[in-house]
Chain A
Amino acid sequence: MTAAIEVRGLVKHYDTVEAVRGIDLTIEESEVFALLGPNGAGKTTTVEILEGHRRRTDGTVSVLGLDPERGGRDLRERIGIVLQSAGIEPELTVREALRTYAALYTRPRGVDEVIELVGLDDKADARIKHLSGGQQRRLDLGLGLIGDPELIFLDEPTTGFDPSARRRAWALVSSLRSLGRTILLTTHYMDEAQALADRVAVIAAGRILAEGPPGALTGPEGELSTTIRFRLPPDVGLEDLPGRFADAAVAVDGGVEVTTGQPTTMLHALTSWAMQRDLELEQLTVTRPNLEEVYLALTARAESDRG
């Protein structure tokens, strides 16, 4: 099986600004991949190079086996693009717009099917200028799907959505995934990446800082570590803990919190110690940092490195 998207050493300069500085990416078929990053991190530039809207300065790029700079019509039959900001003639109705764009593809989806898919049934014959911002964004989504693409680019697809519209959009993405479509989305909502993506990459200052399944992403070395929390029985104090806990353990809210880069060793030491003394450690938990914490730590690091 070949990868849907294969990027090696991608670089993009605008005049003197390096927007993308050496990105490698592999996105498999039928995968939902999220690019996370602050504004100006290079997300949109990267995606627009993959879509064929921008020329790269350096590197190799393959999208569905084609170079997007030369893929032309063959590639565009097979991809669907939902841009961050792209208007549509305000005087047309939803149905007319979808019908117009459907006619540009060889094998489009049905117009009514797409209208239903994006939940614009009751607005199908309304002029686009009378739609709300969220409804226009849903039409954007519909226009990206009308060609029945194998690969869909979603650039911040739910920005400006109310919570229920976001849930619907997420359900739509999930259903596209179950149909075997490959999806590359950019977002700065952590919950969105967490809910939708099989894998995420955190990008800042034009580089990928971390990549992996959203639950397994790790922070910059030594900064974000696993947290062990527990309660000590009333007659046991912090000073009774084994030596290696002396520096690491902190009293928090009547409990103890230990932050460590070696959770296995520490947990082993802690539980052996407790068993020897026949102590029960109440409310013992081990937590990894969540995606948002990892993201914030990574991007803060990137900002300070650059500054």
Chain B
Amino acid sequence: MADHVPVPRLVWHLVRYHNRIFWRTPIAAFFTLVFPLMFLALFDLLFGGEIESGPASISVAQFFAPSLAVFAAATATYSNLAIGTAIARDQGTLKRIRGTPTPPWAYLASRVGSAIWVALLATVLMMAVGVVAYDVNVDVERVPAALLTFGVGVGAFSALGLALAALSPSGDTAPAIANATLLPLAFISNVFIPIEDPPRWLDVLATVFPLKHFVDAFQDAFNPFTADLAFRGGHLAVIAVWGLSGALVALATFRWEPRGGERAGLTRRRAGSHR
């Protein structure tokens, strides 16, 4: 039997390839890395200030920075994976990869790996800017909980991104669907502005979806009022269930060619061009 390039090396190699493409697609880099920072600056201007709590005062950014970091991580995984994969499918890159010795799952793993790498950058960048410019405090005790939440969250949103890529009719519709699902959800999930006394149905709606759980668990890890180590098993379980469902949908419906690709030859025949 022929020997092969070891799969970990293949995945590593392809992660670097996707990273390179990410940096050469300025619009994706902007929306993932810069856009959330603009929100941080804007919110600080609008609602900035200190919350009095006994002897110490807490910056409002202490809550905004983690929620915007989660938003950036969700964009880097869910939106970017869905859009990037759907476009690669339309381009024919996925089909080309399938003609090489790369196992299909290794290719998808590399896409996810690259998306998570970008999500990590976006999250660290957000928190770093928060610490340096907006008096955000990071409590070392709760960093493990933050990392665990981040890991479960980006894993689940990656799976959901692949599911969305599988369900998107084309690379043109994927960005619209990604934005139309993530943005409204961000509004009701306390990403931008905590909604005071939301109507009960809105609260229930937000609780059904994974983003609010991701935000709440991650915020808790940076919340100075948290009394414990901030491991939020309940939140993480909801996120994980969404992630597993997304993975199942992606597995069941993933396509390597554009819709109708299989019958493209027949379509051409119907168009009646004979040579």
Residues on A facing B (Cβ under 8 Å): 14, 17, 19, 38-40, 42-45, 51-54, 72-74, 76-79, 81, 83, 85-89, 91-92, 96, 100-101, 103-106, 143, 147, 188, 303
Q: Separation in Å of the B102 CB from the closest CB of chain A? A: 5
A260 to B98, CA, bound (A): 51
Q: Collect the chain B residues with CB atoms within 8 Å of residue A87's CB.
A: 90-93, 96
Asked if B234 CB lies within 8 Å of chain A CBs, one says: no
Say whether, besides A103-B13, A105-B101, A96 and B266 are in contact (CB < 8 Å). no
Asked if B151 CB lies within 8 Å of chain A CBs, one says: no
Among B2-10, B191-199, B237-245, which stretch is in contact with chain A?
B2-10
Within 8 Å by CB of A14, from B99, B263, B274, lies: B263
Within 8 A of A (CB), among B71-94: 88, 90-93
Say whether, besides A39-B268, A73-B103, A104-B102, A88 and B275 are in contact (CB < 8 Å). no
Q: Which residue of B lies closest to A81 (CB)?
A: B99
Within 8 Å by CB of A53, from B21, B90, B95, B268, lies: B95
A291 to B14, CA, bound (A): 46
The contact sample of 16 A-B pairs, CB cut-off 8 A, is: A14-B266, A38-B274, A40-B269, A40-B270, A53-B98, A73-B2, A73-B103, A77-B4, A79-B99, A83-B96, A86-B91, A87-B96, A92-B20, A104-B101, A106-B2, A106-B101
Whether B99 contacts A104 by the Cβ 8 Å rule is: no
Whether A39 contacts B269 by the Cβ 8 Å rule is: yes
Whether B2 contacts A74 by the Cβ 8 Å rule is: yes
Whether B268 contacts A40 by the Cβ 8 Å rule is: yes
Q: Separation in Å of the A295 CB from the closest CB of chain B? A: 10
Whether B275 contacts A188 by the Cβ 8 Å rule is: yes
Whether B21 contacts A89 by the Cβ 8 Å rule is: yes
Q: Collect the chain B residues with CB atoms within 8 Å of residue A19's CB.
A: 265-266
Chain B's interface size range is 35 or more
Total A-B pairs, Cβ < 8 A? 105
Say whether, besides A39-B265, A39-B273, A91-B21, A73 and B4 are in contact (CB < 8 Å). yes
Q: Collect the chain A residues with CB atoms within 8 Å of residue B270's CB.
A: 40
Residues on B facing A (Cβ under 8 Å): 1-5, 10, 13-14, 17, 20-21, 24-25, 88, 90-93, 95-96, 98-103, 262-266, 268-270, 273-275
Q: Collect the chain B residues with CB atoms within 8 Å of residue A73's CB.
A: 2, 4, 101, 103
Q: Collect the chain A residues with CB atoms within 8 Å of residue B14's CB.
A: 100
Within 8 Å by CB of B4, from A53, A81, A106, lies: A106
Whether B266 contacts A17 by the Cβ 8 Å rule is: yes
The 5 closest A-B pairs by CB, nearest first: A40-B269, A87-B91, A86-B92, A91-B24, A81-B99
Q: Collect the chain B residues with CB atoms within 8 Å of residue A85's CB.
A: 92, 264
Whether A105 contacts B2 by the Cβ 8 Å rule is: no
Whether A44 contacts B24 by the Cβ 8 Å rule is: no
A40 to B268, CA, bound (A): 7
Q: Separation in Å of the B14 CB from the closest CB of chain A? A: 8
Whether A147 contacts B96 by the Cβ 8 Å rule is: no
Whether B100 contacts A106 by the Cβ 8 Å rule is: no
Q: Separation in Å of the A57 CB from the closest CB of chain B? A: 13
Q: Collect the chain B residues with CB atoms within 8 Å of residue A147's CB.
A: 100-101
Whether A106 contacts B3 by the Cβ 8 Å rule is: yes
A19 to B14, CA, bound (A): 36
Q: Which residue of A lies closest to B100 (CB)?
A: A104
